[in-house]
Structure 1
Amino acid sequence: MLDGLGDAAFQAETDRLCQYQAGHEGEHVCLAQSQDHPDDTSTAWWVTWAAPGNTAYRIAVLPECPVTAAALNGDSLCLHPEGHPGDHSW
C-alpha cells in the first residue's frame, strides 16, 4: 500500500526500528513513507506500536514536527512527528 502511493518518496521497508531516543515513554514510531507532492507539500506516513516485540501496529498520517535545524540555517526539519518525546532529529 505504501509503495503504491502517488508521489511516494522511497521504497517502503518491512522491518522498522523506533526512531526515538532509547528509554522514551509512549508509543514507538518510524517513518514508513513520505509523499513529496508537486506543490512542495508532503505527507508523512508513520508506523506506530505500543511496545518492543508487539506485533500490533498502525499506519497513520501524522503531522511532522515543525522545528527547523538552526545549525543547518533552517533548511532542515526535525524528522519526527509533531509532539514527539526527546530531542529533535535531523
Structure 2
Amino acid sequence: MKSYIAAGLLLVGLAMPALAAEQHYAVKDTVGNCSVIDVHPSPTKVSGLTILGNRSGYDSEAAAQKALGSGAGCKGTIERA
C-alpha cells in the first residue's frame, strides 16, 4: 500500500510542471526591437534581452502585448509567425 502512495505522489510531482500556467514576457533586444516570448530570457548580459514591464511575466499574451505599447521605447515590434 505504501508503494502505491509513493508512486502516486511521484506521478503528481512529475505532472505539476505541465500544469503550471504559461507566462509571457515583453522583451526588448539590444537594437531596440521588441517582442513577446513564452520563456523567461537569460540574464541581459547573456541574451541581450531586457524584460519590459512585469519581470515575473504576464498571464496572457494580450497583456504582454499591451506592455509593449506602453511607451517602452521600441524602435520596432517583431510579431510571431
Give the TM-score category using the shorter length: under 0.3
Which one has a larger percent strand, Structure 1 or Structure 2?
Answer: 1
The structure that has the greater radius of gyration is 2
Calculate the TM-score normalised by the size of structure 1.
Answer: 0.25
Bigger share in helix: 2
